[in-house]
Amino acid sequence: MMVKIDLFRRCSMLAFAILFFSLTMIGCGGADDTKKRGYVTITVTHNGSPVTEGEVRMMITGKGEAAVGLLNESGQVELEEVVLGNYNVAVAPPELATPDNPAPEKEYPNLPQKYRDISKSPLKAEVKAGSNEFTFDLKD
C-alpha cells in the first residue's frame, strides 16, 4: 500500500511540474513570439516646434496591442518591438504621478485636446517590418 501512495505522489509531482513549466512559458510571452515587430521613431511638433513633454500612446483598436513612450528633449520617442499593424495614436501630458507623489497641475498648451484621447485622435500610424518614422505636427 505504501508503494502505491509513494508512486502516486511522484507522478502527481511530475505532472504538476510539467504543468507549471508549461504555464510559465506561455505567461512569459511564448505565444507572442510569433508576432512580427518593427522599430518606431515618432517626432511630435506643435505648430513646427518640438513637443518636449508628453506621452505618445499607440493602440490597435480591438487587438489589445499598444506601445507607449515619453517624448525627449528633441520631441522624439523611440519604441522597439512594436507589433506590426495600423495604430491610433494619441499625444497626452505625461503621467508621471504616483499616489504618494501627485503631479502638480500644469497646462500643456502645445498638446491640443483633440490629440489626447486615443479613441478620438486623428493621428494614425501603420507600423511595418523594419524601421518606421512618423512625424506629427499638432495643430490647434
Q: Which residue has the higher pLDDT, 4 or 111?
A: 111
37-98+107-138, what's its fold?
Answer: Immunoglobulin-like (2.60.40)
Q: How many CA atoms lie within 13 A of 89 on its CB side?
A: 23
pLDDT band (50, 70, 90) for residue 140: confident
Query: What is the reported pLDDT for 105?
Result: 77
Mean pLDDT of 95-120: 82
Taking only the tens place, the pLDDT of each residue in 119-137 is 999 999 999 999 999 999 9
> Which residue in 12, 100, 90, 9 sits closest to 54, CA to CA?
90
pLDDT band (50, 70, 90) for residue 13: very low
* Residue ranges of domains in the chain: 2-26, 37-98+107-138
Cα–Cα distances (Å) from 69 to 12, 20, 99, in that order, read: 45, 33, 21
Cα gap 132→78, rounded to integer Å: 10
Query: What is the reported pLDDT for 63?
Result: 84
Model pTM score: 0.71
Taking only the tens place, the pLDDT of each residue in 84-103 is 999 999 999 988 656 676 66
φ and ψ of 112, to 5 deg: -55, 145
On the 0-12 / 13-18 / 19+ scale of CB atoms within 10 A, 71 is: buried
Contacts of 67 (CB under 8 A, 6+ apart): 40, 57, 58, 79, 82, 87
> Which residue in 54, 32, 59 sits closest to 43, CA to CA?
54
Our measurement of the distance from residue 32's CA atom to the centroid of its chain's CA atoms, rounded to an integer in Å, reads 14
Taking only the tens place, the pLDDT of each residue in 27-86 is 444 445 688 999 999 999 999 999 999 999 999 978 889 999 999 999 999 999 999 999
